[in-house]
């Protein structure tokens, strides 16, 4: 069964231990991870002309949707043991659990710990983190492309204006958390706070399902072409924070738990939602001077490299 996997995520991550040993060590490991962070199928489909023809044909024929449907059937259980072995997934705590489908296994739920200090900025998910600065003109640069916050939000689609969405994050920080196939695919709230008004609703934008691996990000504007859902959260310690969940190849679902259109409170570490099937990405937008990232995170991510984080892990503090 052809499910895209990211060997770099499993084998060449930037570990916290390496980064804590010093910025130089962390940067070197991150560059190695970045250089090999595309599996063979991604190199073919995004790195060659014929591969891109195959890719767009597959997308046109809705192959990701068909694959997703297959991976939700009982037959797909046969793929689980080999996927676990191939990717070295730790199944501690799931001994004896019977999964009804590959998707049932993929969206499995576990107990999550997090840094409860009020000023701690935590990672929303197991992922590879990269950091980008947002200009005063609400632009930022990822993998060779200039993006605008207007592109991310498409506020007019929801009856909003740039002032209600993009403008509030000008001069801020963009945190990109790239989830790999081997990562835990549930994500949590980074602080106490509430959803409020139209900006606080879950706004779904339909789109395609390109891979989120680095080579794909260098070939396509995946963060504004892919299917995504966004909300702006009012948090107690970091001000307004935008969270955008971005779907990827074979990921049919972005499931958020809180109802839209209501005044809804949330707690730090509480599960916000989950992805169906395969790797995905979460983007956090912080307002200017909202937080200071840990020195090791900043050192590794300074040149666009990725830093391995775990859900609930402290990655910075509020100012």
Q: What are 136's two structure tokens?
A: 């005063």
Q: Which of 6, 126, 191, 296 is catalytic?
A: 126
Whose CA is closest to 310, among 184, 131, 132?
Answer: 184
Q: Is 158 left (phi over 0), alpha (psi -120 to 50) or beta?
A: alpha
User: With b meaning 16 or more CB within 10 Å and e meaning fewer, what string describes 194-216?
Assistant: bbbeebbbbbbbeebbbbbbbbb
What's the CA dihedral at 178, 184, 186, 191 to 10 degrees?
Answer: -70
- Say which of 130, 229, 280, 305 is annotated catalytic: 280
Round to whole Å and give the CA distance between 299 and 26: 8
Q: Is 280 a catalytic residue?
A: yes
Catalytic-residue membership of 30: no
Residues forming the active site = 126, 280
């Amino acid at each position: 069964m052809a499910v895209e996997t990211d060997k770099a995520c499993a084998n060449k991550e930037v570990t916290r231990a390496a980064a804590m040993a010093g910025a130089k060590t962390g940067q070197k490991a991150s560059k190695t991870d970045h250089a090999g962070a595309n599996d063979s199928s991604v190199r073919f489909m995004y790195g060659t002309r014929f591969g891109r023809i195959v890719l767009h044909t597959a997308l046109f024929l809705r192959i990701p949707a068909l694959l997703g449907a297959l991976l939700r059937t009982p037959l797909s259980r046969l793929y689980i043991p080999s996927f676990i072995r191939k990717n070295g997934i730790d199944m501690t705590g799931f001994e004896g659990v019977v999964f009804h489908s590959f998707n049932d296994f993929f969206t499995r739920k576990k107990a999550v710990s997090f840094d409860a200090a009020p000023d701690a900025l935590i990672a929303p998910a197991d992922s590879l983190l990269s950091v980008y600065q947002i200009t005063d003109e609400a632009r930022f640069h990822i993998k060779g492309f200039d993006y605008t916050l207007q592109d991310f939000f498409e506020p007019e689609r929801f009856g909003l204006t740039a002032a209600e969405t993009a403008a509030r994050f000008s001069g801020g920080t963009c945190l990109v958390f790239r989830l790999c196939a081997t990562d835990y695919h549930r994500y949590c709230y980074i602080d106490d706070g509430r959803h409020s008004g139209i900006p606080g609703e879950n706004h779904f934008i339909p789109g395609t399902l390109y891979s989120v691996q680095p080579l794909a990000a260098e070939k396509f504007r995946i963060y504004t072409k892919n299917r995504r859902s966004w909300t702006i959260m009012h948090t107690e310690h970091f001000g307004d924070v935008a969270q955008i969940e971005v779907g990827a190849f074979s990921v049919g679902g972005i499931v958020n738990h809180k109802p839209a259109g209501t005044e809804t409170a949330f707690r730090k570490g509480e599960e916000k939602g989950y992805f169906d099937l395969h790797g995905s990405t979460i983007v956090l937008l912080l307002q200017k001077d909202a937080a200071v990232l840990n020195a090791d995170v900043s050192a590794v991510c300074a040149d666009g490299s990725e830093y391995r984080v775990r859900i609930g892990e402290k990655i910075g503090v509020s100012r």
